[in-house]
Amino acid sequence: MSLRLEPREHAPLGLRLLVSLLAGAIALLFVAIPVMAAGANPCEAYVLMAQGAFGSMFALSETLNRATPLILTGLAATVAFRARLWNIGAEGQLYMGALAAVLVGSGFLQLPGPIMIPAIMLAGFLAGGLMMVVPTMLKQRFGADEVVITLLLNFVVILFIQMLIEGPLKDPLSMGWPQSVPLLAEAKFDKLVPRLRTHWGLIIGLVSALLLWLMVKKTVLGFEIKAVGENKPAARFAGIPVDATMLKVALISGGLAGLAGVGEVAGVKGYLSADLSPGFGYSGIVVAMLAGLSPIGSVLAAIFIAAVFVGADSMSRATGISNYLADLVVALSLLCVLVGSFFLRFRLAPANPKVEA
């Protein structure tokens, strides 16, 4: 009996989970090749990575700390990709969010303590959101492709940030290091556990995932996003305000990435610098795809990616293998889950099914 590919209507949850798990696992297996090329034993490297990511309370805290911005940039990509809005600019949006947090939270504005944290979050959300709303409007008004524009804006934003932290926002007490003035104490996120770096940003990420899930499943906007993402002309024909929906998606998507930047400034660094994000925006795309664009799944995928980074750093210190190994795993995960999506769209079926009467 020969087999042929047959399109499927709907992929069951179990299969989708299996595809994501296998994609991560296969990506990890693939990097055994570069590990061996670097002259190390892959099994030992995996054990060191696992210990580095989960082996102690400290390791676990570092992994969750790293996962915090990834949850938010993952959700940013999730909501945008669901509407087929290609937001590849989360990196820039993250930095704009961080910048807004510093502008509002470092004493330029006199705000009473209790509203400080909501204020920097709102400012960060709006700043990040605006960075995505503008390219979306350029797409709607001029037909300009948002992929290239958001990609190019990442470079513009990082230069803009460098200009500010070497200029008007420069911390006079930083001994010449290019970093911004620090946040006020009342604008900083508390740690979740004393002496560990995990902070309230993690809770913000988890709540955002839950809210996004509710929005996708239960609200009119969620339905509109699904309709726009599946078939734009049909959605327009059905009377769905396509342009307005896309702008809302852009605001939410950029805003979530902006919140990631707020968390890094308010929860981790305390100030803005040009090395705030080691590519959290780009990794967010991988998180979203690995999660199959599921908001809840994004949390799990973010923890996986974070564990790879934290584990690889630790393994790198022990063995001398370059920690760019983590970036390799992340890239391979994306390609593996993409191949996996093929099996969600098609199934194997007998080549010549009997014609039923």
Partner 1 sequence: MDVLFDIFGSANFWAAAIRIATPLIFGVLGALICERAGVLNLGIEGIFVAGAMAGWLAVYLGAGLWGGVLVAALTGAAFGLLHAFLTVVLGLSQHVSGIGITLLATSASYFTYRTALPDVSSPPRIVPFQSLDLAGLSDLPFFGPVLFSQTALTWLALLLVALVAFVLYRTPLGLSIRAVGDNPASVEAQGLSVIGLRIGAVVVGSALMALGGAFLTMSAFDAFFFGMVNGRGWICIALVVFASWQPGKALLGALLFGAFDAFQIRLQAEIGQVVPGQVFLMLPYLLSILALVLVARKADYPRALLQPWTKGQRH
Give the binding site for partner 1 (CB under 8 A): 34, 37-38, 86, 88, 138, 142-145, 147-149, 151-156, 159-160, 162-163, 166-167, 282, 285-286, 289, 320-322, 324-325, 327-328, 330-332, 334-335, 338-339, 341-342
92 φψ region: left (φ > 0), alpha (ψ -120 to 50), beta (else): alpha
d(CA 139, CA 235): 18
Under 8 Å between Cβ of 81 and 242: no
Alpha helices by DSSP H, listed for the chain, are: 13-30, 32-37, 42-54, 57-82, 90-105, 113-142, 146-166, 201-218, 220-230, 232-237, 242-263, 280-290, 295-319, 324-345
Q: Output 32 or 192, the one with its CB closest to partner 1.
A: 32
Under 8 Å between Cβ of 178 and 162: yes
Between the two ends of the chain, the Cα-to-Cα distance in Å is 22
**Residue in the structure block whose two tokens are 């001029």:** 142
State in angstroms the smallest separation of the CB of 146 from partner 1: 10
Q: Output 65 or 333, the one with its CB closest to partner 1.
A: 333
Q: Output 6 or 190, the one with its CB closest to partner 1.
A: 6
State in angstroms the smallest separation of the CB of 34 from partner 1: 6
State in angstroms the smallest separation of the CB of 103 from partner 1: 18
Under 8 Å between Cβ of 181 and 171: yes
Q: Output 90 or 212, the one with its CB closest to partner 1.
A: 90
Q: Output 117 or 302, the one with its CB closest to partner 1.
A: 302
State in angstroms the smallest separation of the CB of 331 from partner 1: 4
Q: Output 122 or 147, the one with its CB closest to partner 1.
A: 147
d(CA 228, CA 245): 8
State in angstroms the smallest separation of the CB of 287 from partner 1: 12
State in angstroms the smallest separation of the CB of 174 from partner 1: 18
Q: How far is CA 33 from the centre of its chain?
A: 27
